[in-house]
Amino acid sequence: MSQEKNPFFSDDEYNENLAVPHADGKSSKEEEKSPIEKTFDTANDCRKFETEFFWQRGTYYWAFILASFTAHFACMGNFFDGEPISFCDIKNLPVFSLLALAVTAFFCFFFSYAWVIVNKGSKFWQENWEKHIGNLEEKTVGHLFNVVMNENNTEECSPNIFSCKSYRYSVARMTQVTALVLMGASFLLFCFYIVILCDKFLPFLWIAIIGIVVILIYMSHFLYSKPPRKGKGKKTASWYKTF
Domain ranges in the chain are 8-144+172-240
Among candidate residues 158, 175, 161, 74, the one with its CA nearest the CA of residue 115:
175
Q: Using the Cα atoms of residue 75, residue 177, residue 115 and residue 196 in order, give the sign of their dihedral.
A: negative
Q: Quickly count: other Cβ atoms within 10 Å of residue 66's Cβ.
A: 12
Written as tens digits, the pLDDT of the chain (243 aa) is 455 666 655 666 666 665 555 445 444 444 577 777 788 888 888 888 888 878 888 888 889 999 999 999 888 888 877 677 776 777 788 888 888 898 999 999 989 988 988 888 888 888 888 888 888 877 777 776 777 777 777 887 888 888 888 887 888 888 889 999 999 999 899 888 888 887 776 666 667 667 777 776 666 666 655 555 566 666 666 666 655
C-alpha–C-alpha distance, residues 121 and 115, integer Å? 10
Rounded Cα distance, 52 and 141, in Å: 23
Three-class SS state of 58: helix
Q: What are the respective helix, strand and coil percentages of the chain, to the nearest 5?
A: 65, 0, 35
Q: What is the distance between the alpha carbons of residues 229 and 89, in angstroms, rounded to a whole number?
A: 55
pTM above 0.95, yes or no: no
190-216 in b/e burial notation, b at 16+ Cβ within 10 A? beebbebbeeeeeeeeeeebeeebeee
Q: To the nearest 10°, the Cα dihedral for 87, 195, 76, 176?
A: 110
The C-alpha atoms of residue 44 and residue 139 are separated, in whole angstroms, by 14
Supply the pLDDT for residue 11.
63
Cβ 233 vs Cβ 7: under 8 Å: no
* 25 secondary structure, DSSP code: -
Angle between helical axes of 171-200 and 35-80 (0-180°, round to 10) = 30
**Residue range 154-184, pLDDT digits in tens:** 887 888 888 888 887 888 888 889 999 999 9
Can you say whether the dihedral through the CA atoms of 135, 141, 142, 144 is positive or negative? negative
CA–CA–CA angle 224, 107, 225 (5° rounding):
5
